[in-house]
Amino acid sequence: MTFRFYFLLLALGAATPTTLLAQTAPRELNSLPTVPDSARRQPRQQPQLSQQPQLSAPPSQPVQPATAPVQASPIPSENSRFAVGLKNGTVYRAYDVETKQPIFGRSYLLLDDQRRVDLSEISFYEDETGHYVRTTLPKSSRETTLRRDRVGRLSLYSQTSTQYAGNGYSPFGYGRYGGYGGYGGYGGPVYRTVKTEYFSKDNGPIQDLTVRNLSIATADNPGSAALLMQARKYQTFTTLSYVAAAGVVAAGLFSTLAPSQSGSGISPLIYAGIPLAIVPIVLGSKQQQNIKQAISLYNRGAGTE
């Protein structure tokens, strides 16, 4: 009996360490949540990784300055007050436009003292004096420059030139066209400014500004046609007045210079021709007034009823 009792004690003593190990093993397992320090460190490293997209934000910021110049690119109106159009459809904008006519070489336009454009390439241009077009005149094949004076269905154009009018000889001491000279002598060189006017209907070909051409162009407007008919009458009276004044003055000069027994003197016909020379000036102003009224009436579209 005593042997069995000792044997049981030995068996229990051998089993006691295993039970103790079994009891301590769960405690070691329960301490595992404290082991994953790497798992706790990873969330701390993840914010560092998440900050990398923030580092990529600055490259997107330079894109905004790139778009800003595009919005500020339109040129201020003060830097492009004039337009120059070429025959190929290109239009230049410039602040300063100058016409250059060298003695040798072709005429050209100088834009902002930088760009040079030949007049043969230009369709229209603007400068401080107005709007100009390059076109061919009636019965001519050469291009010339015309100034546009009025815009409408009937657009008006003009060309101003200076012409030499001679030396101004006159037996009375006054040269022609305002030149002044001595008695029976020669005045200095006389120049006169001549303005030739043209028009175009609905941007069509350039035509001479005459009563006949305007009457054909405004045939669809009774009001304008009536005004031009009166202008034609004034033109006829003006021509007759010039002929009558020239005939009376010529007769007076002939009678004054012709030898006669009654003595020398100025013929009264010369004084009679002075009023006849004033009549064409008055009629001519009325004719021009009727022409302007007819053009304005046609451009407004009135007088068609």
Going by C-alpha positions, the residue among 249, 247, 265, 268 that lies closest to residue 257 is 265
Q: What is the domain count for the chain?
A: 3
Residues 226 and 302 in one domain: yes
Q: Are 214 and 295 in contact (CB under 8 A)?
A: yes
Task: Find the domain containing 199 and state its range.
Answer: 144-209
Q: Please, which residues bridge with residue 86 across strands? A: 122
Structure tokens at 7: 């044997």
Q: Bridge partners of 236?
A: none
Same domain, 115 and 160: no
> 170 is written with which tokens?
């006159």
Q: Does residue 104 sit in the same domain as residue 173? A: no
**What integer pLDDT is reported at residue 46 of this predicted model?**
45
Interatomic CA distance for residues 136 and 211, integer angstroms:
21
Q: What is the pLDDT of residue 79?
A: 61
- The type of residue at 165 is A
**Could you tell me if residue 70 is inside a domain?**
no
Which pLDDT score, from 0 to 100, does residue 8 have?
61
Look at residue 78 in the predicted model and tell me its pLDDT: 52
Q: Kindly state whether residue 32 falls inside one of the protein's structural domains.
A: no
Q: Is residue 156 in a domain?
A: yes
Q: Would strands 207-208 and 143-150 be described as parallel, antiparallel, or unpaired?
A: unpaired
- For residue 226, give every residue at least 6 positions away whose Cβ sits within 8 Å of its Cβ, in sequence order, or none: 303
In whole angstroms, give the CA distance from residue 169 to residue 163: 17
Same domain for 111 and 179, yes or no, is no
* Both tokens assigned to 288: 């021009």
Query: What pLDDT tens digit does each residue of the chain (305 aa) get?
Result: 555 655 666 655 555 554 444 444 444 444 444 544 544 444 444 444 444 444 444 444 444 444 333 333 334 445 678 999 999 999 999 999 999 988 888 899 999 999 999 999 999 999 999 999 999 998 888 899 999 999 999 999 999 988 877 665 544 444 433 343 434 445 567 888 889 999 999 989 999 999 999 999 999 999 999 999 999 999 898 888 888 888 888 888 887 777 665 555 777 777 787 888 888 888 889 999 999 999 999 999 876 65
Pair 198, 239 in one domain: no
Question: Are residues 194 and 223 part of one domain?
Answer: no
